[in-house]
Structure 1
Amino acid sequence: MTSLTRADGRANDELRPITITRNWLDHAAGAVLIEFGRTRVLCAASASEGVPRWRKGSGLGWVTAEYAMLPASTNTRSDRESVKGRIGGRTHEISRLIGRSLRAVIDYEKLGENTIQIDCDVLQADGGTRTASITGAYIALADACAKLGVPQALTGSVAAISVGIIDGTPRLDLPYEEDVRAETDMNIVMTGAGKFVEVQGTAEGAAFDRAELDALLALGEKGCADLTRLQQEALAR
């Protein structure tokens, strides 16, 4: 699983170059530009006092997320969904995935009646935008909790990575050119403690067996562990 067979020269179990830049915006409680190779996502956290109406008086906080792609983030310009007057199903799905992933590592009671909103905007897309969003959003969330004075509201960390089977071979962190021809495509979300938050897997071209599933999960575990280390290094700077 380590032979150099990919177009970009990576081993099959190797991440793309990952760059994490904190404090990318002046006004956000946490702002991270995260780069997975040529995929670039800006993750900005806004913190505010108070919670949604259905949460008021509970003493519990709330964390939510929104995902969007800039019109020129792909090779063909797409209209802003705000101009279309409706949010697409894919956008809703990814926004909810990011929110669920972040809430897996939040202690609502320690957050208090505060709300943290994470906006993930894809500046450039080359595969793995949802996994990059989750990985960067966690760092923005950590910075926002620190700014609110409640770093203890975080119970752990969370990261995500894509895996897939291309040309019969399991591979980690798929760029677009691999993603579009994957026989199996999977997104894996894990905590820094090595527990699974979510696994999304689909047989695109051919059904996969248990051995292939196990190989993909093992790749995902390795990738998320590598990302957790990079998150820790970024937060320590």
Structure 2
Amino acid sequence: MARKNRKTDELRKIEIIPDFQGIPSGVTLVSFGSTKVLTSVSTDNFVPPYLRGTGTGWLNAEYSIMPYATIPRNRREREKISGRTQEIQRLIGRSLRCVTDLGAFGEKTVKVDCDVLQADGGTRTAAITGAFTALYIFFKRQQKARKIFTFPVTGHIAAVSCGIVEGEALLDLDYEEDYMATCDMNVVGDGDNFAEVQSSGEEKLFTRAQLDKLTGMASAAIKDIIAMQKEAIKSAM
């Protein structure tokens, strides 16, 4: 597939803007092309029942798409969230827990909110990228304020989508490309190691060679994204 404005292994324009709302919780706006996700971090003074008395905390995520993020309008999930939303929330939470020491902040629950303001493909991977940035800034400020003494973040992660479109491996799919993909993939990690790899064939089988091509392409891109995260974090400190 011939892309109009990008090479097959080229990311969309990425912007990571910390302190988007000017409050100390590290609210971060991340953009992958036209996809825009607002991420924030807060804490609750409780943990799931099975963690009470253990001295260990928890981290979970909530994800939602604003009604105006898509055309036609996306209906709000009020009484019951969809299976897709549950899946994405769990993905974000798992990914962040991979690089978080849950014993470093006591018996509290860290809540990460990811709100999609504009959707053009790759919303879950953009959410993870922004959420990690917000989480890092949040904990750094907690440590500076002496609310915690051990920094809980144990590594860096980011995420990106990729897929096979018209037989060709493409990085960072927009909505149109994702719709056309015969295989799509979400990769989360640090560029050398993986927190999660999600991949599925939409219409037909994909090959081991294609799998290796996609994960290699994504891993290289994740290193570039992490460099952008670090610059955003530095600007917020």
TM superposition score normalised by structure 2: 0.93
> How many angstroms apart in 2 are the aligned matches of 1:28 and 1:178?
37
Superposed, which structure 2 residues align to 1:127-142 within 5 Å? 127-142=121-136
Q: Give the superposition deviation at 1:105.
A: 0.2
Match for residue 35 of structure 1?
31
Q: Is the 8 Å Cα contact of residues 190 and 219 (structure 2) preserved in structure 1?
A: no
Give 1:234 shift: 0.9
Specify the code of the residue in structure 2 equivalent to 1:176: Y
Q: Secondary structure at the match of 1:205?
A: coil
- 2:166 is aligned with 1:167: yes
2:196 matched residue in structure 1: 198
Residue 226 (1) aligns with residue 224 (2): yes
Distance 1:86 1:27 in 2: 30
Q: How many residues align?
A: 230
Greater shift, 146-155 or 110-119, is seen at: 146-155
- 2:81 is matched with 87
Write the distance in 1 (CA, Å) between the matches of 2:87 and 2:43. 23
Change (3 A) 1:103 1:74: same
What letter matches 1:214 in structure 2? D
Q: What's 2:153 paired with?
A: 154
**Does the alignment pair 1:6 with 2:11?**
no
Q: Residue deviations 1:65-120, cap 9 Å, x none?
A: 000000110111122101xx211000000000000000000011222223210000
- Is 2:182–2:203's contact at 8 Å kept on the other side of the alignment? yes
What letter corresponds to residue 6 of structure 1 in structure 2? R
**Partners of 2:109 and 2:156 in 1: CA distance:** 18
> What is the CA distance between 1:158 and its match in structure 2?
1.1
Residue 52, structure 1, aligned to residue 45, structure 2: no
Go from structure 1 to structure 2 and tell me whether the alpha carbon gap of 1:68 and 1:226 turns closer, same or farther (over 3 Å shift).
same
**Cα distance in 2 for residues equivalent to 1:24 and 1:54:** 35
Of 55, 60, 64, the match for 1:64:
60
Does residue 112 (structure 1) correspond to residue 112 (structure 2)? The answer is no
Matched, 1:185 2:184: yes
1:39: how far off?
0.1
Query: In 2, Cα distance between the equivalents of 1:96 and 1:110?
Result: 21
More off after superposition, 160-169 vs 126-135: 160-169
State whether residues 73 and 124 of structure 1, in contact with CA within 8 Å, keep that contact through their aligned partners in structure 2: yes
CA offset at residue 167 of structure 1? 1.3
Structure 1-normalised TM-score?
A: 0.93
Q: Distance in 1 between matches of 2:51 and 2:179?
A: 41
Contact 2:35-2:122 at 8 Å conserved across structures: yes
User: What is the distance in 2 between the residues matched to 1:35 and 1:50?
Assistant: 32
Once residues 28 and 80 of structure 1 are traced to their aligned partners in structure 2, the CA distance between those partners, rounded to angstroms, is 28
Gaps of 5+ in 2: none
When the two chains are superposed, the root-mean-square deviation of aligned CA atoms in Å is 1.5
Q: Secondary structure at the match of 1:107?
A: coil
CA distance in 1, matches of 2:164, 2:75: 32
Give secondary structure in 1 for the equivalent of 2:67: coil
Question: Could you tell me how far apart the structure 2 residues matched to 1:78 and 1:31 are?
Answer: 23
**Distance in 1 separating the partners of 2:60 and 2:134:** 13
Q: Distance in 2 between matches of 1:157 and 1:49?
A: 26
The 2-side partners of 1:219 and 1:39 are apart by 20
